[in-house]
Amino acid sequence: MISTPVDKQLSGRQYLTPESVLSDSPNQNIFPLTARSNDRDRLEIGGCDVVTLVDRFGSPLYILDEATIRAACRAYRQAFDRYYDGETQVMYASKAWSTLAICAIVASEGLGVDVASGGELYTALQANVAPETIYFHGNNKSAGELQFAIETGVTIAVDNWLELETLAELAAGSANPVRIAIRFTPGIECHTHEYIRTGHIDSKFGFDSDRLDAVFEFIAARSHLHCVGLHAHIGSQIFERDPHRDLGKVLVEKWQRATAKGLKLRELNVGGGLGIRYTEADDPPSIDEWAKAVCEGVTTACESAGIALPRLLCEPGRSIVGPAGITVYTLGAEKTIPGIRTYLSIDGGMSDNPRPALYQSQYCAIVANCTS
């Protein structure tokens, strides 16, 4: 069985034929691009029979399709090359799923890696991701994590005053200026669950946008801090394009304020947030459509402000790894309550998938050993 809850009207086969790949944008498909129903009426991913995999490895079992990950990486790179005349860099937000193999795959596709802990940074480095393509995020980095980031030469996305002041002290002993970016709260609302909105004013992430002048002045006065750009992120699992288009204008406005304070920036980072299709009702824009909105927003804002196009970064996570993965469970006990519902128990729960309990997320499910 795959995920929960079970939809009694769902026929697996309708999703597991060549026609089931609704789009070449992985995030618009419920299943990985290689999913099909094989001649034994079983679910197959990447040429592997899912039932055979469970027999070998047990369940719950995470299965990831490399072909779908690579397709998503290429879709992002190609779209940003298509719609933006300046330099671009797509980053994988490894908080979505951080493993050696995934970091190595995305790096081989030309992506950088966004990390949010010392452990994720260590994983990316062990996967031979180039330090200059790693960006270290997080709203509560320890002094030890910051020192590790300085020593490895990655870019640090500074989130708050405590971090900035700590970093200034640590950087004073560094042989070279420490490369940083400033994350701020853009004040942009979007339609997604309140637990995964990050761009509104009441957010734990980033500096208050109305108080950035003091931040810029602090950095400008310290030669051992090299601020390369600005970062903002508005949330996750977003289906709208306008908020991401609007983000470009906000970033460029803050860029002008930073340069007026003496900082020499070269890049803007729009974060990620593109949603994926978990159920039939979900209708996210394609990777191409999302990238077009982002690039047009930044380009229009730069043209209006009369500034050259900066290096443009984005950090998708869910939309790269989410469509590539399934979770396989084994059905156990059954309880029928006449006239109400039937409960089917599985060998999994919050330990392997907390999203339904945390913010009422829903999934598509099929029976893997009988897909018709």
User: Which is nearest to 86 in space by CA: 317, 371, 351, 313?
Assistant: 313
pLDDT band at 113 (very low <50, low <70, confident <90, very high): very high
What is the chain's Cα-based Rg? 22
Mean pLDDT for 20-30 is 81
Give the model confidence (pLDDT) of 192-202 as tens digits: 434 334 434 55
Region 275-292: what's the mean pLDDT?
A: 94
pLDDT at 245: 84
Give the pairing type, strands 325-328 and 61-64: antiparallel
Kindly state the average pLDDT of the residues 342-349. 94
pLDDT above 60 for 338: yes
Q: 61 forms bridges with which residues in the sheet?
A: 328
Q: Is 3 a residue whose pLDDT tops 60?
A: no
Six token digits for residue 187: 């004040």
**pLDDT mean over 66-91:** 98
The mean per-residue pLDDT over the stretch 338-348 comes to: 95
Predicted pLDDT at 243:
85
pLDDT at 192: 42
User: What is the sign of the dihedral through the CA atoms of 25, 31, 33 and 36?
Assistant: negative
Distance (Å, whole) CA 27 – CA 139? 28
Of 112, 150, 103, nearest to 133 by C-alpha is 112
Give pLDDT tens digits for 141-193.
Answer: 999 999 999 999 999 999 999 999 999 999 998 889 999 999 999 877 544 43
Tokens standing for residue 362: 């829903």
Residue 21 pLDDT: 56
Residue 273, sorted as left (phi over 0), alpha (psi -120 to 50) or beta, turns out to be: left
Q: Are 275 and 192 in contact (CB under 8 A)?
A: yes
* Segments in 28-179 forming alpha helices (H): 50-57, 66-83, 100-108, 118-126, 143-152, 161-171
Residue 239 has pLDDT above 80, yes or no: yes
> What kind and span of H or E run contains 251?
helix 242-260
pLDDT at 90 over 60: yes
| Helix, coil or strand: residue 276 | coil
What residues contact 196, with CB distance under 8 A and at least 6 apart?
A: 235, 236, 237, 359
CA distances from 181 to 39, 84, 142, 226, 242 (A): 53, 21, 17, 8, 24
Instruction: Taking residues 271-295, report their average pLDDT.
Output: 94
Question: What integer is the mean pLDDT of 28-49?
Answer: 95
The angle at the Cα of 241, spanning 238 to 243, to the nearest 5 degrees, equals 80
Q: What is the pLDDT of residue 197?
A: 40
What pLDDT, on a 0 to 100 scale, did the predictor assign at position 358?
Answer: 87
Q: What is the pLDDT of residue 14?
A: 55
SS3 per residue for 325-362: EEEECCEEEEEEECCCEEEEEECCCCCCCCHHHHHCCC
Kind of pairing, strands 311-314 and 134-136?
unpaired
In this structure, which amino acid lies at residue 289? E
pLDDT of residue 1 exceeding 90: no
CA distance to 181, 244, 263, per residue, from 220 (Å): 13, 29, 6
- Range with the lowest mean pLDDT among 171-180, 216-225, 297-306, 357-366? 357-366
pLDDT of residue 114: 97
The mean per-residue pLDDT over the stretch 311-330 comes to 97
Percent of the chain beyond pLDDT 90? 77
CA distance 156 to 252: 20
Residue 7 has pLDDT above 70, yes or no: no
If phi > 0 it is left, if psi is from -120 to 50 it is alpha, else beta; for residue 279 that is beta
Task: Judge whether 51 and 83 are in contact, CB under 8 Å.
Answer: no
Q: Please tell me the predicted confidence (pLDDT) of residue 17.
A: 54
Q: What is the pLDDT of residues 199-229, one digit of tens each?
A: 345 568 789 988 999 999 999 999 999 999 9
